Structure 1
Amino acid sequence: MKILGKFLLRRKKGLLLLVFCSIVVVALSLLNTNYIARVTDDTYRVTNGSISKNAYLSGLTDATIIMVIIMLVMAIANIASGYFAGKISVSVAEDIRNAIYEKALTFSLKEMNDISIPSMITRSTGDVISIQNALYLTLTTALSVPFLIVGGILGVLSLGKALLALLILGVVLVISIFIALVIKLGPLYASFMSLIDGLNKVTREGLSGIQILRALNREKWNSKRIQQTSQQIKDISLSVDIAQAVMQPTMYLVINIIDILAIWVCYYFSDKGFFEIGDIVAFINYLFMTLSGIIVGAMVGIQLPSSFICMSRISEVLEKELSIKDGKEEDVSNLSNYDVCFDNVSFRYSDDAGFVVRDISFTAKQGELTVITGNTGCGKTTLMQLIPRLYDATKGTITIGGVDVKKMKLNDLRSFIGYVPQRVFLHTGDVRFNISYRDKDYNDETILESAELSQSLSFIDEKEKRFEEWISQGGSNFSGGQKQRLTIARALSGSPKVLILDDSASALDLETGVKLRDALLSIVGDISIIFITQRLSIIKNADKVVLMKDGEICEQGTYEELSEHSDTFREILQSQMGA
């Protein structure tokens, strides 16, 4: 809630105007009730001859004009309240959504895995909308409840202590019912939001992998998973709806009972001249205004537990401590070289997990092509993710140009690294947008050169719109090899000093792979290239080959040296030749 308060305080002016409008509405409601009571008393008096008809009509006309003015001003104040509440709630939701995204941009893969992408999507959409709606209802209705209670007590106080005691009894009973319901529903809402995350995850997996489900004839199995989660959500929703259905009639029953008691109290004291008929009308109006306001506030409040859960989930994101923090090295723009050096580097995903890579030491020199190869699951990808600090090494140091990457500012570090991940990702947009994604100010010459080096130009030229050809979500209208080459072009467009290619030729045919190898070798004099691959054509031309097995380096050297001395390397070569 502290975070929500921070966002609300940015709109102090709107909040003050909203509070002012609420006070005006409550004050005018009390004044209007006073005029109704006065007219009721005058009507009773004119029937028993206590006042003349002319005096009654004159007073009635004046009271009617005043009450019409009061109602018009109240209408304007209510409209203004709705406007300010809407503006504040929408603006706060926008700020929260932006804050979540900006925080997510600072997350390492560890933080993202801790929360999970489906949950991040739910928190950024459904949770924020829930908070927005709850905030709007709170500002338009629940905000006026304290003023209604105070105003009702002051109004009834002028009628007598007996009626005041009845009003306080009604307020206590209604609030007690509300508190009991909130205590019951709080845990249900927490379970509900957790199930929504689960449903989002299962649905996302099912839709993303629909082709696999169909190919393996597992549609019914996945449908059953979704149905089970949906049934649990249904059960919780039903419990919440039943509780809400019971609450409102129970609260209005309290109002009716207090009304009946008030009539008997007024009857008891009427012979002693304590109350007039107008007092009964005024009390019923004060009672209904106060308690119905509380009931409306309670109907809003019953939704607050779910909003509190949503806010706590969002707070978890915004307050999450980062495992990777910015370094303090001021200037790394003029490094003497861009050699990437691993010195006894080990890494594990959590303190209670085993090491994924252990005691890694090697140097990928500027002007050289360094190939990392090995069996599947030996830690090659994880090792490369440590260079741009997608994860931080648990032990040891990684330096570029002699500077520890942990001491560099993240923006500076990543500005001279071109990274092509194993899992290809393209943005929705045209080809030009995707290649120049790092910097939209790249000129056509830079984009063309990157496309040519990555061997993308050949298929781009075949497209009708060339660089303006539209790429669908996930690049679904391009082949796997084309997507790989476009991601390489994107990495090259930033003129990187360190180029990391994670199995980025796996979807290329042999001829295209050879052309890509030759293109990379033509620029290797200026940069450090680290290539994870098992392609023989690339391994043969590497200046250094690092062979990994089970998270460790078992051999390193040139192709010729490993071919002669390493049995493991020869096994890899034989498997490649056999393929």
Structure 2
Amino acid sequence: MFKIFRYLKDSKAMVLSIIVLLVIQAGCDLSLPQYTSDIVDVGIQQGGIERATPEIMRKETYENLTLFMTEDEIQSVEPYYTENSEGNYELNTKDAQVLDAMDQALGMPMLILESLQESEEYDFGQMRQAFESGMITKDQMLNMRNEAEASFGNMSESIIQQKANLFVKDEYRALGMDLDAIQMNYLKYKGIQMLGMAIIMTAASILVSLLAAKTAAGIGRTLRQNVFNKVVSFSNAEMDQFSTASLITRSTNDIQQIQMVEVMLLRMVCYAPIIGIGGIVKVLNTKTGMSWIIVVAVAAIMVLVLILMALAMPKFKKMQDLVDRLNLVSREILTGIPVIRAFSREKHEEERFEEANSNLMKTQLFTNRVMTFMMPAMMFIMNGISVLIVWTGAHGIDQGNLQVGDMMAFITYTMQIVMSFLMLTMISIMLPRAGVAADRIEEVLRTEPSIHDADQVRDEELKDVKGYVAFNDVCFRYPGADEDALEHISFTAKPGETTAIIGSTGCGKSTLIHLIPRFYDVTGGSITIDGIDIRELSRNKVRSTLGFVPQKGVLFSGTIESNLKFGGEWITDEEMKSAAEVAQATEFIETKKDTYKSPIAQGGTNVSGGQKQRLSIARAIAKNPKIFLFDDSFSALDYKTDVVLRKALKEKVADAAVIIVAQRISTILHADQIIVLEDGHVAGIGRHEELMKNCEAYQEIAKSQLSEAELKGGLAS
């Protein structure tokens, strides 16, 4: 699972940019609830008056307040008020720390003063005169303050500040200030700030989505490239280990899963801790006394996540194997439709597909049901937490320990914290499946090809290839097999000569010819080209000397020209046309409207088997190699075309070594050397006439294919 995170290491700059943007987004997101709280508490309830420290107040008000202030409190306030021409005191500082200290100093005296004014038992003018004349001491005034504080009970600082703000509001009214204008200005200012925050948050979110998508797409591209490069380097042994359907699934579906999760990681997993931690810090700063609710919410979510993970994890691991199975069955059915129809097996194949499809559907339904259950459970927890906050907060508001705006902010912050855990939960459900996909991809990437180049190759010694191919006591055993498929094979194919290999089905003919291009490596003995062991040459060098025509003709989507020039861009039009003429492909190419520009469908499905085989032969001839390998490549040709093609081929490749695997004796009748294979070993080597005299296995093949006249006189070339 951690592999998914390691894929990000090559995109460090992009990831860092995303994190910075997420911090900005989270900062804006976390600021909005406080703005809402300020609008409710300050803008609406307090009429837009933010602080207990008045911007301006009457001189007599200031003097009355100082009666109930300690010397330290007076010292913290007095320097920051200046008497104006009208005799009022104006605030002369904007320092937030100073204003916070002044709020603390003025808050309680304002409450006491307002309380005494409402009781109408005190004349502050006389009280001030008595204080100034010494009839009332400072200690007596402070004792009066202490008595008043005791009568207020345990009031939170926010409530004290709120009541002090009401005092300031009354003071502004007494000064003749427009309170409605003050309130509207405050609301407009906060509204503009909220709008600015929302715009910044939106822009950051858009940029994060863009960068995350770009990063994930880059990771997907790199993984596809790495998997493709690795698969291309595989020998037949590794290709047998991974089925074609599985490799396709790993290169598409699995990488798509990782790409999707990478986007989620960058957008949600990185954002969730930021918003969660930030929300916790904000909650602690609200001083509502309801922090325990956060613990309850997080604990409930964690229990839910653990239960869901325990249920879903095994199914996610199984799902990818079921996707492989479905792809395998689909591929077999789609490629084998003609055979299925010919044998009237449509019903059977439908049932086979239905089984694979149903197994995948059942697993997906189970995981989807788990996901479906998760969302209502999460919403139940979130709504339950909201009700609990409102219930607890309402008691706090009723007791005067909490403001409405603070409770609203607390609800929002709590929801943000819960949502952060919800985001982590969502990704935790997706991570297991992506983790399985990553393991499957890593399995391909970790697989080392069994065939690789030597540390020091001898390519320089093979500059001018002559075309001598020698098998020296070659043995070969398939990986995991108990017996050798080929045993002690020795022969030499010379340039200018045709070496044919014939034998019964399953005797190892194709296996033998696949050893030359190193699709497999020999397990005993050696194969040499011009005296150099092919294992001491690079695979590219070995294969560049060969013109290989597989048993099953393979064409690629494109045109006839692109297929014939598949051997290299250096192949000219003249060489291409000459190769097509030798392969007897010109007759059907010229009949097409676009001739060599005619399109070829994927797999060559728009040409016949014989045409596909002739184009495959022409592709090998156009490369003009020194060694030709024909793996039963004439089987789809009619006898006449076969004879004409072999005659033209002999003239064209007079200086090249030709190795032909064949089922029909008529194809190899005039070969310079015929090798008869039987159960993986050589049963005879020689020309047709020699083998007819001294090789019983060859005689049996000949008798099964040739007439009496042909056995006596041979076939005309």
**Aligned residues of 1:93 and 1:128 also touching (Cα < 8 A):** yes
**Aligned residues of 1:162 and 1:265 also touching (Cα < 8 A):** no
Post-superposition offset of 1:265: 4.3
| Of 166-175 and 429-438, the range deviating more from structure 2 | 166-175
Give the 3-state SS of the residue equivalent to 1:530 in structure 2. strand
Which consecutive residues of structure 1, in runs of 5 or more, have no partner in the other structure? none
**Aligned residues of 2:4 and 2:435 also touching (Cα < 8 A):** no
Aligned to 2:535: 406
1:329 pairs, out of 446, 457, 466, with: 457
User: Residue type matched to 2:21 in 1?
Assistant: C
Q: Distance in 1 between matches of 2:335 and 2:640?
A: 32
The Cα offsets for residues 47-76 of structure 1, whole Å up to 9 and x where unpaired, read as 985563444333222211111111111111
Post-superposition offset of 1:322: 1.1
Aligned to 2:36: 36
Q: Distance in 1 between matches of 2:562 and 2:498?
A: 29
Post-superposition offset of 1:271: 7.6
Alignment of 1:56-75 (within 5 A): 56-75=183-202
User: Residue type matched to 2:381 in 1?
Assistant: V
Q: Distance in 2 between matches of 1:360 and 1:3?
A: 47
Post-superposition offset of 1:304: 2.0
**Aligned residues of 2:500 and 2:674 also touching (Cα < 8 A):** yes
The answer to whether residue 280 in structure 2 is matched with residue 279 in structure 1 is no
User: Residue type matched to 2:41 in 1?
Assistant: D
| Of 246-255 and 195-204, the range deviating more from structure 2 | 246-255
Alignment of 1:18-167 (within 5 A): 18-42=18-42, 43-46=44-47, 49=166, 52=169, 53-54=179-180, 55-160=182-287, 162-167=289-294
The answer to whether residue 577 in structure 2 is matched with residue 448 in structure 1 is yes
Give the 3-state SS of the residue equivalent to 1:34 in structure 2. helix
**Aligned residues of 1:378 and 1:548 also touching (Cα < 8 A):** yes
Sort the Cα spacing of 1:557 and 1:50 in 2 relative to 1 into closer, same or farther, 3 A: farther
**Aligned residues of 2:557 and 2:600 also touching (Cα < 8 A):** yes
Alignment of 1:201-220 (within 5 A): 201-220=328-347
Sort the Cα spacing of 1:239 and 1:184 in 2 relative to 1 into closer, same or farther, 3 A: same
Sort the Cα spacing of 1:462 and 1:245 in 2 relative to 1 into closer, same or farther, 3 A: closer
Post-superposition offset of 1:208: 1.1
**Aligned residues of 2:474 and 2:490 also touching (Cα < 8 A):** yes
Give the 3-state SS of the residue equivalent to 1:303 in structure 2. helix
Post-superposition offset of 1:330: 4.3
Q: Distance in 2 between matches of 1:577 and 1:83?
A: 72
Give the 3-state SS of the residue equivalent to 2:327 in structure 1. helix
Sort the Cα spacing of 1:3 and 1:239 in 2 relative to 1 into closer, same or farther, 3 A: closer
Query: How many residues of Structure 1 are paired with residues of Structure 2 in the alignment?
Result: 579
User: Residue type matched to 1:488 in 2?
Assistant: I
Sort the Cα spacing of 1:66 and 1:370 in 2 relative to 1 into closer, same or farther, 3 A: same
Post-superposition offset of 1:326: 1.8
The Cα offsets for residues 25-67 of structure 1, whole Å up to 9 and x where unpaired, read as 1111222222222222223345985563444333222211111
User: Residue type matched to 1:455 in 2?
Assistant: Q
Quick check: which has more Rg, 1 or 2?
Answer: 2
Aligned to 2:555: 426
Give the 3-state SS of the residue equivalent to 1:308 in structure 2. helix
Q: Distance in 2 between matches of 1:525 and 1:3?
A: 56
**Aligned residues of 2:30 and 2:275 also touching (Cα < 8 A):** no
**Aligned residues of 2:476 and 2:524 also touching (Cα < 8 A):** yes
Give the 3-state SS of the residue equivalent to 2:706 in structure 1. helix
The Cα offsets for residues 445-483 of structure 1, whole Å up to 9 and x where unpaired, read as 211221122222233233332212222222223222221
Alignment of 1:500-511 (within 5 A): 500-511=629-640
Q: Distance in 2 between matches of 1:541 and 1:478?
A: 30
User: Residue type matched to 2:579 in 1?
Assistant: S
Aligned to 1:253: 380
Sort the Cα spacing of 1:336 and 1:222 in 2 relative to 1 into closer, same or farther, 3 A: closer
2:353 pairs, out of 218, 226, 246, with: 226
Post-superposition offset of 1:523: 4.1
Post-superposition offset of 1:232: 1.3
Q: Distance in 2 between matches of 1:51 and 1:109?
A: 88
Alignment of 1:350-389 (within 5 A): 350-389=479-518
| Of 69-78 and 355-364, the range deviating more from structure 2 | 355-364
1:435 pairs, out of 564, 570, 581, with: 564
**Aligned residues of 2:4 and 2:262 also touching (Cα < 8 A):** no
Give the 3-state SS of the residue equivalent to 1:141 in structure 2. helix
Aligned to 1:471: 600
The answer to whether residue 339 in structure 2 is matched with residue 338 in structure 1 is no
**Aligned residues of 1:456 and 1:485 also touching (Cα < 8 A):** yes
Aligned to 1:235: 362
Sort the Cα spacing of 1:35 and 1:456 in 2 relative to 1 into closer, same or farther, 3 A: same
| Of 330-339 and 288-297, the range deviating more from structure 2 | 330-339
Aligned to 2:524: 395
Aligned to 2:158: none
Give the 3-state SS of the residue equivalent to 2:286 in structure 1. coil
| Of 260-269 and 443-452, the range deviating more from structure 2 | 260-269
Q: Distance in 2 between matches of 1:209 and 1:273?
A: 80
Q: Distance in 1 between matches of 2:642 and 2:208?
A: 66
Give the 3-state SS of the residue equivalent to 2:270 in structure 1. helix
**TM-score, normalized by length of structure 2?**
0.77
User: Residue type matched to 2:39 in 1?
Assistant: V
The Cα offsets for residues 254-277 of structure 1, whole Å up to 9 and x where unpaired, read as 223333333454456568865333
Alignment of 1:311-330 (within 5 A): 311-327=438-454, 328-330=456-458
Sort the Cα spacing of 1:248 and 1:534 in 2 relative to 1 into closer, same or farther, 3 A: closer
Q: Distance in 2 between matches of 1:538 and 1:259?
A: 86
| Of 193-202 and 263-272, the range deviating more from structure 2 | 263-272
Post-superposition offset of 1:112: 1.4
The answer to whether residue 312 in structure 2 is matched with residue 182 in structure 1 is no
Give the 3-state SS of the residue equivalent to 2:188 in structure 1. helix
Q: Distance in 1 between matches of 2:437 and 2:689?
A: 60
Q: Distance in 2 between matches of 1:336 and 1:231?
A: 57
Q: Distance in 1 between matches of 2:250 and 2:665?
A: 46
Aligned to 1:487: 616
| Of 350-359 and 233-242, the range deviating more from structure 2 | 350-359
Post-superposition offset of 1:308: 1.5
Give the 3-state SS of the residue equivalent to 2:369 in structure 1. helix
Q: Distance in 2 between matches of 1:402 and 1:8?
A: 49
**Aligned residues of 1:142 and 1:294 also touching (Cα < 8 A):** no
User: Residue type matched to 1:278 in 2?
Assistant: G
Give the 3-state SS of the residue equivalent to 2:517 in structure 1. coil
Q: Distance in 2 between matches of 1:461 and 1:266?
A: 88
Post-superposition offset of 1:366: 2.1
Q: Distance in 2 between matches of 1:197 and 1:376?
A: 31
| Of 406-415 and 9-18, the range deviating more from structure 2 | 9-18
| Of 389-398 and 173-182, the range deviating more from structure 2 | 173-182
The Cα offsets for residues 380-431 of structure 1, whole Å up to 9 and x where unpaired, read as 0011111101111122211111111112111111111111110111112221
Aligned to 2:705: 576
Sort the Cα spacing of 1:551 and 1:340 in 2 relative to 1 into closer, same or farther, 3 A: same
Post-superposition offset of 1:12: 2.4
User: Residue type matched to 2:273 in 1?
Assistant: P
User: Residue type matched to 2:619 in 1?
Assistant: R
Aligned to 1:530: 659
**Aligned residues of 1:45 and 1:51 also touching (Cα < 8 A):** no
**Aligned residues of 2:235 and 2:449 also touching (Cα < 8 A):** yes
